[in-house]
């Protein structure tokens, strides 16, 4: 109640003040006062006057305030009903409701997903249409679909080279299923006396292994034995010890096997293990050739052994897929695959057994993995035909293996089966050893020539001997073409066929002349001279 009374008292005071304001404004209209008031407050000017004991205001022009901007919708009253304060004005109980910002993480994540979707669609479209390699796309399309010829058959484009093996791994499986049973494991034994106690490695007798991987075991058997080694050899004379491990393949159902000569070289006993059998067969070496590094073995037991067919290596193309099967490091029937990397390769290997260098010509290069023990095994095409016989691998590089081409094997296989001598491949030569013409040699000969080849020696009855070529003759060229070094002249001669007529342009005792001769065959002479 007291509070109610106070409120009423406040209202009366306000009413009295309103009446006072009205009286004051009336006085102002008469222009008799400079006094003005606003609300309960008042001020007195220096020139203000009083009337009837009260200050009289003078009218003052007041500029109205600018319009207040409307409150944003985010402002809300803090109650359902409006409240008024004691002066009769609406209460200022306003609350600001802050807008919550949207999550930036969610926005970034959605943008990332949208970008990935767009990139995926573009990559898929580019891959399917090959928009960046249109020529490759066209070639691949022809290779996959094939072109229909007039006869109704489908042929592939010769320019289309598949990036992956055709039809997947099923081709390798079919090759292994077809040719695998004909691949055999070959183990050789030798008497310890003949092996000089150096049989600590099964690959000791493999000259290719020693060439590419080094003679890691060759002399270890004798190291530290001093004079006791002879006693041990004498006491163990006749005892068979392992000599080597290799591979081979049956090419005739009656038991004829092809392998490398170095696999069986120096062996007293050769044992052959056929897939699916536990007991090895004892094989007989029918014929072998060190120059070609080929040998033919024969096993007895049945007349229907699994076989593999020798194909035509001339038809094999660089880039064609190849499959190698063998027994690397003794792991039987290991399968590796690769491509035919190159053809007509030549390598030279010094044989430990003969002490002479062996030159391998016309080899097939492949990147199919070949290791010691693969020697003698087949290199097959995807039709299951033997294209080559694995013979060597380079340890200094990745994926460089070599195989003897099947066409070389086909030329001599019948002679090897019948143990007939195989004629050596003709080697063109003239029968003279040559050296380069150096300034010192030219001074001794008293010639003004600065280039050419000086004849050092002549082989008796050789083409050079019969043509009256003499020591200290300077060969300037052949058939009118100059050759500045002896190696250039030798290379030219070795490219000629045996029996080809040549004209050597020479200088003898300061006079130039021509010498006529025919290229001979180095195999007909026992001399070891180069030319």
The catalytic residues are 262, 293, 375
CB-CB contact of 197 with 232 (8 Å): yes
Interatomic CA distance for residues 385 and 379, integer angstroms: 8
Helices (H), 277-349: none
Interatomic CA distance for residues 422 and 429, integer angstroms: 21
Interatomic CA distance for residues 37 and 115, integer angstroms: 71
Residue corresponding to tokens 């079919």: 174
As a whole number of Å, the CA-based R_g of the chain is: 53
Task: Please say whether the dihedral angle defined by the alpha carbons of residues 173, 175, 180 and 183, taken in this order, is positive or negative.
Answer: negative
CA-to-CA dists, residue 349 to 83, 155, 250, 426, 428, angstroms = 113, 43, 27, 19, 21
Cα–Cα nearest to 360, from 263, 290, 265? 290
Interatomic CA distance for residues 159 and 145, integer angstroms: 14
Looking at residue 527, the DSSP 8-state letter turns out to be -
Q: Which helix (H) or strand (E) holds 272?
A: strand 269-274
Residue corresponding to tokens 């008293």: 446
**Max Cα–Cα distance, the chain, nearest Å:** 168
The torsion region of residue 384 among left (phi > 0), alpha (psi -120 to 50) and beta comes to: left
Contacts of 264 (CB under 8 A, 6+ apart): 186, 188, 246, 270, 285, 288, 295, 297
Cα–Cα nearest to 94, from 80, 81, 77, 79? 77
- What SS3 state is found at 336? strand
Interatomic CA distance for residues 279 and 272, integer angstroms: 9
Cα–Cα nearest to 406, from 314, 333, 295? 314
Interatomic CA distance for residues 169 and 162, integer angstroms: 14
């Amino acid at each position: 109640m007291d509070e109610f009374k106070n409120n009423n008292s406040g209202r009366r005071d306000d009413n009295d003040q309103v009446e006072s304001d009205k009286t004051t404004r009336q006085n102002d209209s008469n222009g008799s006062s400079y006094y003005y008031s606003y609300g309960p407050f008042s001020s007195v000017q220096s020139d203000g006057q009083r009337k009837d004991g009260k200050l009289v205001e003078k009218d003052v022009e007041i500029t109205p305030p600018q319009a207040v901007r409307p409150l944003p919708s985010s402002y809300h009253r803090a109650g359902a009903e409006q409240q008024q304060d004691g002066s009769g004005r609406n209460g200022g109980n306003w609350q600001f409701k802050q807008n919550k910002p949207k999550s930036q993480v969610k926005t970034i994540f959605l943008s990332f997903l949208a970008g990935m979707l767009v990139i995926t669609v573009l990559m898929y479209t580019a891959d399917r249409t090959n928009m960046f390699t249109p020529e490759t796309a066209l070639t691949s399309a022809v290779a996959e679909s094939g072109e229909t010829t007039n006869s109704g058959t489908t042929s592939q484009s010769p320019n289309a080279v598949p990036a992956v093996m055709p039809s997947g791994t099923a081709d390798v499986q079919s090759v292994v299923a077809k040719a695998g049973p004909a691949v055999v494991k070959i183990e050789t034994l030798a008497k310890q006396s003949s092996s000089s106690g150096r049989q600590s490695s099964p690959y000791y007798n493999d000259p290719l292994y020693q060439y590419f991987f080094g003679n890691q075991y060759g002399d270890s058997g004798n190291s530290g034995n001093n004079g006791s080694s002879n006693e041990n050899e004498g006491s163990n004379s006749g005892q068979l010890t392992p000599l080597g491990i290799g591979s081979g393949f049956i090419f005739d159902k009656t038991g004829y096997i092809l392998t490398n000569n170095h696999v069986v070289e120096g062996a007293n006993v050769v044992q052959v293990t056929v897939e699916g059998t536990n007991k090895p067969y004892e094989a007989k070496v029918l014929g072998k050739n060190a120059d070609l590094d080929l040998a033919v073995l024969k096993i007895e037991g049945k007349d229907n052994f699994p076989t593999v067919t020798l194909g035509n290596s001339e038809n094999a193309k660089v880039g064609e897929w190849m499959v190698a099967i063998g027994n690397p490091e003794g792991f039987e029937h290991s399968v590796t695959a690769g491509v035919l990397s190159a053809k007509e390769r030549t390598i030279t290997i010094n044989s430990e057994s003969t002490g002479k260098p062996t030159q391998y010509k016309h080899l097939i290069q492949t990147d199919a993995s070949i290791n010691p023990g693969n020697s003698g095994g087949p290199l097959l095409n995807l039709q299951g035909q033997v294209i080559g016989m694995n013979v060597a691998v380079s340890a200094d590089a990745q994926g460089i293996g070599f195989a003897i081409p099947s066409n070389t094997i086909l030329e001599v296989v019948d002679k090897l089966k019948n143990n007939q001598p195989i004629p050596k491949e003709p080697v063109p030569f003239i029968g003279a050893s040559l050296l380069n013409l150096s300034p010192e040699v030219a001074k001794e000969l008293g010639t003004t020539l600065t280039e050419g080849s000086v004849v050092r020696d002549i082989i008796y009855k050789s083409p050079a001997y019969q043509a009256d070529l003499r020591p200290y003759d300077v060969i300037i060229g052949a058939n009118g073409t100059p050759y500045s070094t002896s190696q250039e002249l030798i290379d030219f001669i070795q490219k000629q066929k045996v029996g080809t007529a040549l004209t050597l342009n020479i200088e003898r005792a300061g006079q130039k002349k021509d010498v006529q001769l025919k290229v001979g065959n180095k195999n007909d002479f026992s001399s070891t001279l180069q030319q």
